[in-house]
Copies of this chain bind each other. A is one copy, B any other.
Amino acid sequence: MPETLPENSVGLVQTHIHHCVTPLILECGKTLAEYDIAYETYGSFNAQKNNAVLICHALSGDQHAAGYNSMDDKKPGWWESAIGPGKPIDTNHFFVVCINNLGGCKGSTGPNTVNPETGKYWGPDFPIVTVKDWVKSQQRFMQALDIPHWQAVIGGSLGGMQVLQWSIDYPELLNYAIVIAAAPKLSAQNIAFNEVARQSIMADPDFYNGHYLAQNTSPRRGLMLARMLGHITYLSDAAMRHKFGRELREGKLNFGFDVDFQVESYLRYQGRSFVDRFDANTYLLMTKTLDYFDPASNYQDNLSLALAPAKAKFLVISFSSDWRFAPERSREIVKALLQAKKQVSYIEIEANQGHDAFLIPIPHYLNVFDAYMKNIRHAAFTSDDEVEKCN
Contact = CB atoms under 8 A, between A and B. Distances in A.
A191 B261 contact: yes
A225 B246 contact: no
Most B CB atoms within 10 A — which of A124, A202, A255?
A255
A58 interface: no
Nearest to A266: B192
A263 B188 CA distance: 6
A381 interface: no
A57 interface: no
A192 B225 contact: no
B246 A185 contact: yes
Interface in A205-226: 205, 221-222, 224-225
B267 A232 contact: no
A221 to B, nearest CB: 4
Given A127-B255, A128-B255, A246-B294, A228 B188 contact: no
B241 A225 contact: no
Contacts of A244: 188
A49 B231 CA distance: 52
A203 interface: yes
Contact of A188 (B128, B261, B288): B261
A169 interface: no
A193 interface: yes
Interface residues of A, number: 55
Interface in A270-323: 271, 284, 288, 291-292, 294
Given A229-B229, A257-B284, A291-B261, A237 B189 contact: yes
B205 A267 contact: no
A253 interface: yes
A354 B236 CA distance: 18
Nearest to A262: B188
A225 B225 contact: yes
Interface of A: 27-29, 124, 127-128, 185-189, 191-193, 195-196, 198-200, 202-205, 221-222, 224-225, 228-229, 231-232, 235, 237, 240-241, 243-246, 253, 255-257, 260-261, 263-264, 267-268, 271, 284, 288, 291-292, 294
12 contacts: A127-B255, A128-B256, A189-B232, A191-B246, A191-B261, A191-B264, A195-B268, A203-B222, A203-B224, A225-B225, A246-B294, A257-B284
